[in-house]
């Protein structure tokens, strides 16, 4: 914080910012809720994007979208480089995904969230030119024990020993994708169980880093931008994350190299986001292990959010009730 003749200039995000950001994720979740189970992921995503952009415009910060949403599938998005906020207050990098789990939302499945991650300006890795990253996430027990360069069996056995668990008690979260067939076999051959997820690997990574969930590790190839957002949360939880970029084409490799990314490097938490003052905010769209989804209860809409901050090491849950009439008109109530 710097005091000038014209007032106080906040150079770093402060704790009040978190409660402002949660209004934006709540808005995105509520506006997308009528589309849950309706089979149109772009309609759900578009409603969430519009709501999030509108609320971010009221937040007192100077935010630049380093990691935008929708680039992989041409969905509506808050685009990379877009400036959000009032232009006053701290300068921040932000990663946004108005719905992490658009397919889950469209199908009416669990674990879809609306999320924002924030860090000091210039501290987030811009991995947008390479869509995919091999990632591994655990709780604090994995620090100095787990390494993405080891086999999955070695990592499971080492983490089990660090946690004081039997290998057959370990549960490993993996995206259920054809590319992970061999990985899934290796996990089971090691004696551990899998928790196969359809979408939304940010929530899976956070659950792996938390101390009070059934997931011990999240592993596999997922979105690079999601890896950076997950790192913001993992730093707040005191957990462990590593990633290696996985370009799918020569063109993507060339674009990544031109952007200064490297492909033989293991990106640690501080490489993904170097700030020690990160925020991660998520509101449930559909029910999940991390947060409950949007729920209509008579004249009210109930939301549940989680707010993480690395500098203070705090985890807060925000349960809010919103008057339906303030959010949705009669034509929009069909899904709630």
Q: Is 189 annotated as a binding residue?
A: no
68 labeled binding residue: no
Residue 100 marked ligand-binding: yes
Q: Is 85 among the annotated ligand-binding positions?
A: no
Name the CA dihedral angle for 110, 244, 238, 98, rounded to a multiple of 10 degrees. Answer: -40
Q: How far is CA 277 from the centre of its chain?
A: 16
Contacts of 118 (CB under 8 A, 6+ apart): 13, 17, 21, 61, 63, 92, 93, 94, 95, 232, 278, 279, 280, 281
Q: Is 247 annotated as a binding residue?
A: no
Is 225 annotated in a binding site? The answer is: no
Outline where DSSP puts E strands in the chain.
2-4, 7-9, 62-67, 83-84, 91-100, 113-120, 132-138, 171-175, 193-197, 217-223, 240-245, 267-268, 279-284, 295-297, 300-309, 314-323
Tell me: is residue 97 an annotated ligand-binding position: yes
Question: Rounded to whole angstroms, how far apart are CA atoms 245 and 226?
Answer: 12
The DSSP element (H or E) to which 125 belongs, if any, is: none
The backbone torsions φ and ψ at residue 298, rounded to the nearest 5 degrees and listed phi first, read: 60, -125
Is 126 annotated among the ligand-binding residues?
Answer: no
253 is in an annotated binding site: no
**Is 200 known to sit in a ligand binding site?**
yes
Which residue intervals of 13-122 are DSSP H helices? 15-32, 41-56, 102-107
267 belongs to an annotated ligand binding site: no
Find out whether 242 and 148 touch, Cβ atoms under 8 Å: yes
Residues forming the annotated binding site for substrate?
100-102, 132, 177-179, 199-201, 223
Residues forming the annotated binding site?
45, 69, 97, 100-102, 132, 177-179, 199-201, 223, 226
Residues forming the annotated binding site for Mn(2+)?
45, 69, 97, 100, 226
């Amino acid at each position: 914080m710097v005091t000038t003749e014209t007032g106080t200039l906040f150079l770093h995000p402060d704790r009040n910012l978190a409660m402002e950001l949660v209004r934006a994720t709540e808005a995105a979740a509520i506006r997308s809720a009528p589309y849950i189970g309706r089979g149109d992921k772009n309609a759900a995503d578009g409603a969430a994007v519009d709501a999030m952009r509108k609320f971010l415009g009221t937040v007192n910060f100077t935010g630049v979208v380093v990691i935008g949403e929708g680039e992989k599938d041409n969905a509506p998005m808050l685009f990379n480089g877009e400036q959000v906020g009032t232009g006053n207050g701290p300068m921040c990098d932000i990663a946004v995904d108005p719905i992490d789990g658009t397919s889950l939302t469209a199908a009416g499945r669990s674990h879809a969230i609306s999320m924002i991650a924030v860090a000091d300006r210039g501290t987030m890795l811009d991995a947008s030119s390479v869509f995919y990253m091999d990632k591994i996430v655990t709780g604090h027990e994995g620090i100095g024990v787990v390494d993405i360069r080891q086999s999955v069996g070695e990592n499971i056995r080492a983490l089990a020993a660090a946690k004081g668990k039997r290998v057959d008690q370990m549960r490993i979260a993996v995206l259920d994708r054809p590319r992970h067939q061999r990985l899934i076999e290796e996990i089971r051959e090691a004696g551990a169980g899998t928790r196969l997820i359809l979408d939304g690997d940010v929530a899976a990574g956070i659950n792996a880093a938390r101390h009070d969930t059934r997931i011990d590790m999240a592993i596999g190839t997922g979105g690079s931008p999601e890896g950076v957002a997950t790192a913001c949360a993992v730093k707040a939880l005191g957990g462990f994350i590593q990633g290696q970029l996985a370009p799918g084409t020569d063109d993507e490799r060339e674009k990544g190299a031109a952007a200064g990314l490297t492909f033989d490097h293991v990106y640690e938490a501080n490489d993904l986001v170097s700030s020690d003052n990160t925020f991660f905010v998520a509101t449930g769209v559909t029910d999940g292990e991390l947060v409950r989804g949007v729920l209509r209860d008579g004249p009210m809409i109930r939301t549940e959010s989680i707010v993480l901050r690395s500098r203070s090491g705090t985890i807060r849950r925000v349960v809010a009730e919103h008057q339906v009439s303030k959010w949705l008109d009669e034509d929009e109530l069909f899904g709630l």
